[in-house]
Amino acid sequence: MKTQDKTYTIELAPGIKAKYCLKRLGQQPPHKGDGVMVEAMIMLPAKDQQLLPQIQFESRVQVGGSSLYSVWGAPYSDDFRYCARTFVAPKWSQAFAEAETWARGELQKLADALAARARALQEAED
């Protein structure tokens, strides 16, 4: 079965959705090796090219190796900022699986931080 490019949408918290895309890039350059490459791109919600204030955890949370400041990653559009990482494996299915595991894991960090923040607000009630 041929593994295809795909875009997924994940709800991180009520009203806050992120996306990740998995894309075939082709085979490694000959001087690097014979593996195949898949790019994982994480897209976080933004407004006017800045992360939404609700997810600006700054140095408290890192996604894709960078802290969640307003200008995290790079602009994708007015509505999203992104970061990407390339995965290399001998088989497409393996490269896609590694890329998806990484993307989901990175987004889970943010989902966990948002859930902890909501819990802290609830627990603050006397």
43-74 confidence digits (pLDDT tens)? 999 999 999 999 999 999 999 999 999 999 99
Q: Is 90 domain-assigned?
A: yes
Ranges of the chain whose pLDDT falls below 70: 1-2
pLDDT at 84: 98
Instruction: Please enumerate in sequence order all residues whose Cβ is within 8 A of that of 43, keeping only pairs 6 or more positions apart, or say none.
Output: 18, 19, 20, 21, 76, 80, 81, 82
Q: Is 22 domain-assigned?
A: yes
pLDDT at 2: 67
Work out how many domains the chain is built from and give that number.
1
How far is the C-alpha of 13 from the C-alpha of 65, rounded, in Å?
A: 21
Q: Is 72 domain-assigned?
A: yes
pLDDT at 4: 80
pLDDT at 3: 73
Q: Is 1 domain-assigned?
A: no
Q: How far is CA 12 from CA 34, 76, 89, 114, in A?
A: 37, 19, 29, 7
| Domain range for 106 | 7-123
Q: Is 84 domain-assigned?
A: yes
pLDDT at 23: 97
pLDDT at 126: 74
